[in-house]
Structure 1
């Protein structure tokens, strides 16, 4: 009889958690809602033969990124044999998700924002991550994401009031 009750209760248990959106930006499970926007405040040049640039409060080469602190990569559809410029713009976040990779005991869990702009369709996505030990891996929080964006990019949440800028 107890097994029957358990089997009847399990669907309720699993569906009660489904669809819940975490709104606390300090949480690694923070959900970026549909209709959110990413605003680029200054032009950025993507070097020739590259499809992206790195950001950790300011634009910098990968070799200067502190991988154990929040950092992001703005990516284009494809590299070109000449430099490409992304102009200041508002990009609609069409999808927010995660990607995870484990290498030599380290876990890289990236928050990935798929982007769309009518004016600049070659801009593809922004991915933000922190390298961590595999045992303690967690997604990057909304606060950490904003920290990596610095003053260069602003995340405007759809359906919610804008959050204050993080303090350095």
Structure 2
């Protein structure tokens, strides 16, 4: 039994070094580098949330109406918890990321077909929404809810947004600072 102890010790060391995190992706242009928990979004200028809305959309560094968003390009949605009949101002502040959810959702682009001529093949969604939702916390503005950055893409080759794509969508309105 004592003869096996060195072999077991070597095996444990090999297995533990195989789990080393030196392979972690830290390329801000990669879809595989996620925003770490504890990262912050600093709102650099006040944003007005229009009456009967809870959110604003940002794309190419501009605030846009949902009708002007190109859903195939990177865009972000900044949301509050509650809706109001009055316009509301979100003041410059720093929001901490407390939870992150990556998900893919179907995008419906046409009415369902009940009968069609086809030779078989793929019957899944034409596009998927690749989204990263970051839940935010602010002590000064507790109504701030979350930031969701996303785009529509092909099911087989689609990608989540990289950190730099998120920054491009947000422009000068928000500064994303990654936690260590």
* TM-score when normalising by structure 1: 0.81
Could you tell me which of 22, 44, 49 is aligned with 1:46? 49
Mark the CA change 1:117 to 1:81 in structure 2 (over 3 Å): closer, same or farther. same
Q: Does 1:101 align with 2:122?
A: no
Shift in Å, 1:68: 1.1
1:109-139 residue CA offsets vs partner (Å, 9 max, x unmatched): 1111110000000000000011112222221
Correspondence for 1:82: 86
Mark the CA change 1:19 to 1:87 in structure 2 (over 3 Å): closer, same or farther. farther
Shift in Å, 1:65: 1.1
Correspondence for 1:61: 65
- Aligned to 1:107, the other structure's residue is in SS state strand
Correspondence for 2:157: 136
Segments of 5+ residues of structure 1 without an aligned counterpart are 1-11, 160-168
Correspondence for 1:115: 136
Shift in Å, 1:48: 0.9
Aligned residue pairs: how many?
148
For 2:172 and 2:20, the matched residues in 1 are separated by: 35
- Aligned to 1:24, the other structure's residue is in SS state coil
Segments of 5+ residues of structure 2 without an aligned counterpart are 1-14, 109-125
For 2:101 and 2:80, the matched residues in 1 are separated by: 18
CA contact (8 A) 1:21 1:31 kept: no
- Aligned to 1:136, the other structure's residue is in SS state coil
Correspondence for 1:162: none
Correspondence for 1:31: 34
Structure of higher CA gyration radius: 2
* TM-score when normalising by structure 2: 0.75
